[in-house]
Structure 1
Amino acid sequence: MARDPLEQRELVITRRLKAPRSLVWRTFEDPYLLAQWWGPENFTSVITRFEFRAGGAWHVTMRAPDGTERPVRYHFVEILAPERIIYRPLPSPAAVWRGNPPPTYLATLTFEALGNETLFTMRAEFESAADLEFASKSGFVRGTNQAYDKLERQLATYRSEE
């Protein structure tokens, strides 16, 4: 049986986060909190522009452990607080990616309240199955999962402060 064409070019990551939706949402809408966990393990992030609204821009530079900087620019397509964020990365000709540019995709983040927990889902819809395969091989999937691991650790620190 053939797979649905969308399934062949869509990456879905789901996490059940041990924090209320309002707190999880805040870690996405507050650039200071977002910078604490955004990016792969051992990367740091500096957010230089953050217009959290439909049509707004989001510029972040991720710094690798070796000091290499990877600037990424995003465009917010839709924000429906506290349920959904849709964004896409924009090409950045100035980016130094060592032959590993960020993939082109449309990301849809959803936040479902489950009492004191949140079902968080990220869907990245790529232009083609080949683009998704390239993204997987180039570390996008691993790096994205590492960022969400960092988010979970960050959320745990907020709980311990309560």
Structure 2
Amino acid sequence: MTDNVDATKAANNEFVITRELDAPRELVFKAWTEPEHLQRWWGPKGLTITVVKLDLRPGGLFHYIMRTPEGDETWGRFAYREITAPERLVYVNSFSDPEGGIVRPPFDDPWPLEILNTVTLEEQDGKTTVTISAIPVNASEEETRVFRAGFESMEQGYGGTFDQLAEHLAAL
């Protein structure tokens, strides 16, 4: 099970990654949209995710907190733009504060405040191909450059997250 990153999109500042999962699309969609599933697989390996709020509708918010084993906390949010069950989710992902407001990330590089993500789910023979495309929203040239420079790190991060999703789906 390998991830496929579309290098041709890099010139357009778009990060694209694809993973095939051994599960039907309906189940994968539930894993992306229900709190009891999201907190079991979303985010970097080794972190605990707590869903604070999940309002699954255009204009709604998925607000969550990630905790390290040492107790450090980072907040995040998805602001949903489009939900087409069970095939597509479009949301703007950002770091956030505990109230859900958008904040700068907890690292020094000038990362974009908002990233537009499109998740598509395509099923064939009982397996689902997940494709995520991400592009900065209203980003400065420097933020866009840092985003583009982060593709390798994003590939590794999403790889671990996809591994957790695959393990979660296999356990259902």
Write the distance in 1 (CA, Å) between the matches of 2:8 and 2:125: 33
TM alignment of 1:3-82, pairs within 5 A: 7-82=11-86
**Which deviations, in whole Å up to 9, do the C-alpha atoms of 1:23-57 show, x marking residues without a partner?**
11110111111110011111110010100111101
Write the distance in 1 (CA, Å) between the matches of 2:149 and 2:134: 13
Unaligned runs of 5+ in 1: none
Alignment pair present for 1:148 and 2:162: yes
Closer, same or farther: CA 91–69 of 1 in aligned 2, 3 Å: closer
DSSP 3-state at the match of 2:96 = coil
My pick for the range that moved more, 109-118 or 127-136, is 127-136
Report the equivalent of 2:145: 130
Task: Provide the identity percentage.
Answer: 32
Question: What is the deviation of 1:8?
Answer: 3.6
Question: What is the deviation of 1:58?
Answer: 0.9
Closer, same or farther: CA 102–74 of 1 in aligned 2, 3 Å: farther
Runs of 4 or more off by more than 6 Å in structure 1? 3-6
TM-score (norm 1): 0.83
Unaligned runs of 5+ in 2: 1-6
What is the RMSD of the two structures over their aligned residues, measured on CA atoms? 2.5
Aligned length: 155
Question: What is the deviation of 1:63?
Answer: 1.0
Write the distance in 1 (CA, Å) between the matches of 2:111 and 2:77: 10
Question: What is the deviation of 1:136?
Answer: 3.5
TM-score (norm 2): 0.79
Report the equivalent of 2:96: 92
